[in-house]
């Protein structure tokens, strides 16, 4: 079973896999038939939610006794990269601003353990892992993703509409991403917090 609030995402998922049931739904108020799961897993979800504790609590209720709620989320403030570019510093500042203005928490990774405890879980294992982008193909993909997000996605539109940035600045940030990708020494580290919470 896969769940997302956005119908276009669910339609895309259905096109990729017909062996999984995909459903549009609410992370806080799961449909009544969504219960008795062995595992509920959320990857890069809690950072986008205004009430991650309520979501974790709902997911725990969807599990059978002895089940697991597992989550992994990035920690943006802990991102690090080489070589340094002030434009990428500005990218991080602007993204964190946009995420928080939408009610999210971009530094969710470090908070997962606390959120799980606040949700009532007593048996929680907390770990961490990283993604590292250092090959030419990895850099092109990662930089392209962020260059596009800053110039052609809702994030960029929001930043310009709010007055936090300008289209010109966002284009310069996109250019900085492409310069970083072209640098053979380019290296980017994305740390994550992880939890396994037992019901």
Provide the pairing of β-strand 80-82 with 63-74: unpaired
Averaged pLDDT score across all residues of the chain: 95
pLDDT higher than 90, residue 13: no
| Residue 172 sits in the same domain as residue 193 | yes
In whole angstroms, give the CA distance from residue 112 to residue 119: 10
pLDDT higher than 90, residue 2: no
Q: For the chain, what percent of residues have pLDDT higher than 70?
A: 100
Note the pLDDT of residue 70. Answer: 98
Name, in order, each residue with C-beta under 8 angstroms of 56's C-beta and a sequence gap of 6 or more: 46, 69, 71, 115, 116, 119, 121, 197
Residue range 95-143, pLDDT digits in tens: 999 999 999 999 999 999 999 999 999 999 999 999 999 999 999 999 9
| Residue 134 sits in the same domain as residue 51 | yes
| Residue 92 sits in the same domain as residue 47 | yes
| Residue 182 sits in the same domain as residue 95 | yes
| Residue 67 sits in the same domain as residue 141 | yes
State the residue range of the domain holding 142. Answer: 35-198
Q: What predicted TM-score, i.e. pTM, was given to this entire model?
A: 0.91
């Amino acid at each position: 079973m896969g769940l997302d609030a956005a119908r276009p995402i669910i339609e895309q998922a259905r096109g990729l896999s017909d062996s999984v049931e995909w459903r549009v739904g609410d992370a806080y108020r799961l449909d009544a038939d969504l219960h008795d799961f062995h595992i509920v897993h959320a990857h890069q979800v809690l950072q986008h939610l205004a009430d991650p504790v309520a979501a974790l609590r709902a997911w725990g209720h969807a599990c059978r006794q002895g089940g697991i709620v597992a989550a992994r989320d990035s920690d943006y403030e802990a991102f690090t990269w080489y070589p340094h570019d002030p434009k990428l510093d500005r990218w991080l500042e602007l993204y964190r601003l946009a995420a928080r203005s939408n009610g999210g928490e971009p530094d969710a990774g470090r908070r997962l353990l606390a959120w799980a405890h606040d949700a009532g879980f007593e048996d929680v294992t907390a770990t961490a892992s990283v993604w590292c982008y250092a090959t030419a193909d990895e850099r092109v993909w990662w930089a392209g993703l962020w260059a596009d997000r800053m110039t052609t996605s809702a994030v960029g539109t929001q930043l310009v509409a709010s007055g936090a940035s300008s289209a010109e600045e966002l284009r310069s940030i996109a250019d900085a991403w492409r310069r970083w990708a072209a640098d053979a020494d380019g290296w980017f580290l994305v740390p994550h917090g992880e939890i396994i919470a037992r019901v």
